Amino acid sequence: MGRYVTLRALQAVGVLWAAFTISFVVLYLLPADPVSIAADAGGSGTAVDKVAVAELQARYGLDRPLWEQYWTALSHAVRGDLGHSISTGQPVTAAIGDALPSTLGLASLALLFATVGGVTVAFAATYSRRPWLRNALRSLPSLGVSVPTFWTGLLLLQLFSFQFRLFPAFGGRGFAGTILPAITLAIPIGAVIAQVLATGLESTWRQPFVDVAVAKGGSRWWVQRKHVLRSAALPTFTIAGVLVGNMLAGSVVVETVFARTGVGRLTQTSVLAQDIPVVQGIVLLTSAVFVTVNLAVDLLYPLLDPRIAGRARRAPNETTDDITTAEEVGARA
């Protein structure tokens, strides 16, 4: 187990390094000049002072060769120093730290809504014996995935903020101001959870061990909760990293539509200003969250399915074919 965790940690470091390198190369190959954008902060469009641009380039090290800029940025990032924002001069870690709590609150509430809604739809779609109800419930996830996030947000704003006046429209803080953005962000995530879980539940219901549990007198509800769900949940955990990526990407749209401060809004403004240090810091943050979630899912697998831990403890020279053959021989005997 220790060797497995070590390898996964090394892979996580490799992913973070690749994310930093790719974002660095892409951002520095863009034709626009972030220093000129920062010098023309007023948006007047007039020619900026070349002396001021040269001073800013020297301050941020942009006048050095590209390889030297890369090595300096990488060595500082390893020590936790992500540099300073070209637009504001604020430390990147401070800028992300100020925006992170709002996004974490939004993402946590959205994940709660998505999990409860997705699991409820999947359970109801597979538990119901009425074909018309099953088909109607199975069509809901496809609708939730296909509807654009910004359209959902605008629709919720029109209905619950402008027409019924139940929730604040823009920049709302506190629980009430987070409900509409969280629902907007949760709908596509919950739809994916419902799709994957419903497919897993339906396929698990056709397994022989489920027939045995039913034959022993277990009710349909008890069998689905105690036996079917545990096996069907594994594919849903597998896509956890994808769901987190979708949530972080969706926060950019949601925080823009609802005029909320957060990492998504910071990403938008930093990309428009081509603020390289801030964008790289956000890329590293996203990559770190992605690899952490995937590592946690891999470590939870043996708890959900003990057979995975049993396979890991088998002898290295015992192949899958050998295992299958031995099981078949035992069954025949």
Domains of the chain: 2-78 (no CATH), 92-307 (1.10.3720.10)
Tell me the C-alpha distance between 275 and 170, whole Å.
26
Tell me the C-alpha distance between 147 and 136, whole Å.
17
- Could you report the per-residue pLDDT of 99-148, keeping only the tens digit for each? 999 899 999 999 999 999 999 999 998 888 888 888 888 888 988 888 89
- Which pLDDT band, with edges at 50, 70 and 90, does 311 fall under? low
Work out the number of other CB atoms within 10 angstroms of the CB of residue 12. Answer: 17
Tell me the C-alpha distance between 325 and 306, whole Å.
21
* pLDDT of 316 above 60: no
Work out the number of other CB atoms within 10 angstroms of the CB of residue 94. Answer: 13
And the tokens for 312? 């890991």
Q: Which helix (H) or strand (E) holds 309?
A: helix 306-312
SS3 91: strand
- Could you report the per-residue pLDDT of 214-260, keeping only the tens digit for each? 888 888 888 888 888 877 888 887 787 778 877 887 888 898 889 88
Instruction: Write down the pLDDT at residue 192.
Output: 92
Span of 45-54, 99-108, 198-207, 319-328 with lowest mean pLDDT: 319-328
Instruction: Write down the pLDDT at residue 165.
Output: 87
Angstrom CA distances, 191 to 72, 112, 129, 143, 234, stand at 43, 13, 21, 8, 17
One DSSP character per residue, 44-85 reads --SPPPHHHHHHHHHHTTTTS-HHHHHHHHHHHHHTT---B-
Phi-psi region of 80 (alpha: psi -120 to 50; beta: other; left: phi over 0): left
- The CA-based diameter of the chain, rounded to the nearest angstrom, is 88
pTM: 0.78
